[in-house]
Amino acid sequence: MRSEEEHHDIVIVGGGICGLATALALHRIQEAWHHKSTVQVKSSRVEDFRCLKRTDLIQVLFDNLPAGSVRLGCQIVAVEGDSSTSFPILYVHDGSIIKAKVLIGCDGSNSIISKSLGLGALNSLPNCVIRGLTNYPNGHDLERCFLRNLDNGYMAFGRIPIDDKLVHWFVDWPYPDRDTDASKDPKFIMELAMQQIKDYPAEMIEMVESSNPSSLNLTRIRYRSPWHLVFGNFRRGTMTVAGDAMHMMGPFLGQGGCVALEDAVVLARNLAEAMPMGLEGGRVGDGELKKRIEAAFENYVKERKPRVLRLAMQSMLVGMLISSPSKIKRLLSLALLVVFFGGASLSYTRYDCGPL
């Protein structure tokens, strides 16, 4: 066990899409601070439907960060406020301690930082999603396709080409009554997927059968209830959360990762606006620094809440519409979607979170 103590200005917990994007946004802003220039990176509007591998996105974000800014294998086990400065203290699994002026929790669905902020537990749907990738070395001519069996309410199957050789597919089905270790076994996942699609067209069965076993993944669908988003506390002092740690939602709109990228831009922009000279390099006292960071996080949370609340509601209703075994619930969710969200409108993809 180590008993070392480290000091950092900003610590981000979690190296997924949100953590890496937030780190990159903050580095871009820091560069602007040093060069006294305006950051020109803008969030782009999504005008069309695109599928990409999550690992590719993570790799691109990682590759653009300065060397040494990501520490791998560092599991945070607890967080508390320093009794003298009230800045956050992080406890690492190896016994070491990290003291930070700013703490951003991008640690996903089982977030330690969310728990420390007192956010309630996530809800689980009785569904799971099996996902996989199939490579066609000689190319394919498959188009995007979604199928749903409306008789049982649950079953959904979809495929989306990533490029002319690689296709992403998914099967949505009730969560298997098996222990979680079995649900990580590619053989078990493949058997389950094949069982669910046995009556589907041969071309789809063939695609699932020839998928790459290491790409197979079974995930229980979980989400943060919209009520938590309304009443939850997303910051305390100089600590806040972003990405799934803040607003985990079911995959029904395919927006979780996109919203995590928006969080990164908005969070970094608010920090930059509150502290145009960076963390002020000791020029302002800790009390003033704390006040400015708190104001930045307050604005960040205020800006993000309406956006993520609307998406969480829409995602929950779409989830209910496509997966509830109750016809009455499906009808009710359809009515609410039409009244409040324009039915099948994709207007949520045209949201502009503003420039960095």
Ligand X SMILES: Cc1cc2nc3c(=O)[nH]c(=O)nc-3n(C[C@H](O)[C@H](O)[C@H](O)COP(=O)(O)OP(=O)(O)OC[C@H]3O[C@@H](n4cnc5c(N)ncnc54)[C@H](O)[C@@H]3O)c2cc1C
For the bound state, the minimum distance from the C-beta of residue 322 to ligand X, rounded and expressed in Å, comes to 13
Of 14 and 153, the one with the shorter C-beta distance to ligand X is 14
Of 23 and 207, the one with the shorter C-beta distance to ligand X is 23
For the bound state, the minimum distance from the C-beta of residue 90 to ligand X, rounded and expressed in Å, comes to 9
* 327 alpha-carbon distance from chain centroid: 30
Of 112 and 207, the one with the shorter C-beta distance to ligand X is 112
For the bound state, the minimum distance from the C-beta of residue 275 to ligand X, rounded and expressed in Å, comes to 24
- Is 224 in contact with 119 (CB distance < 8 Å)? yes
Of 128 and 293, the one with the shorter C-beta distance to ligand X is 128
For the bound state, the minimum distance from the C-beta of residue 258 to ligand X, rounded and expressed in Å, comes to 4
Of 20 and 32, the one with the shorter C-beta distance to ligand X is 20
For the bound state, the minimum distance from the C-beta of residue 238 to ligand X, rounded and expressed in Å, comes to 18
For the bound state, the minimum distance from the C-beta of residue 59 to ligand X, rounded and expressed in Å, comes to 13
For the bound state, the minimum distance from the C-beta of residue 148 to ligand X, rounded and expressed in Å, comes to 16
- Beta-carbon contacts of 134 under 8 Å, excluding residues fewer than 6 positions away, are 166, 167, 169, 207, 208, 210, 211, 212
d(CA 71, CA 14): 10
- Beta-carbon contacts of 158 under 8 Å, excluding residues fewer than 6 positions away, are 144, 145, 146, 147, 169, 170
CB atoms within 10 A of CB 45: 10
Burial code (b: 16+ CB inside 10 Å, e: under 16) for 159-168 equals bbbeeeebbb
d(CA 261, CA 255): 10
Of 108 and 319, the one with the shorter C-beta distance to ligand X is 108
Query: Of 168, 319, 305, which Cα lies nearest the Cα of 229?
Result: 305
Alpha helices in the chain (DSSP H): 17-35, 54-63, 112-116, 186-196, 202-209, 226-231, 244-247, 256-274, 286-323, 327-341
Polymer length in residues for the chain: 356
Q: Based on DSSP, count helices (H) and strands (E) in the chain, helices before strands.
A: 10, 11
Which tokens belong to 211?
A: 């998928």
For the bound state, the minimum distance from the C-beta of residue 339 to ligand X, rounded and expressed in Å, comes to 25
Task: List interacting residues with ligand X (CB under 6 A).
Answer: 13-19, 75-76, 106-110, 112, 129, 131, 219, 243-245, 251, 254-258, 260
Of 56 and 286, the one with the shorter C-beta distance to ligand X is 56
Of 17 and 207, the one with the shorter C-beta distance to ligand X is 17
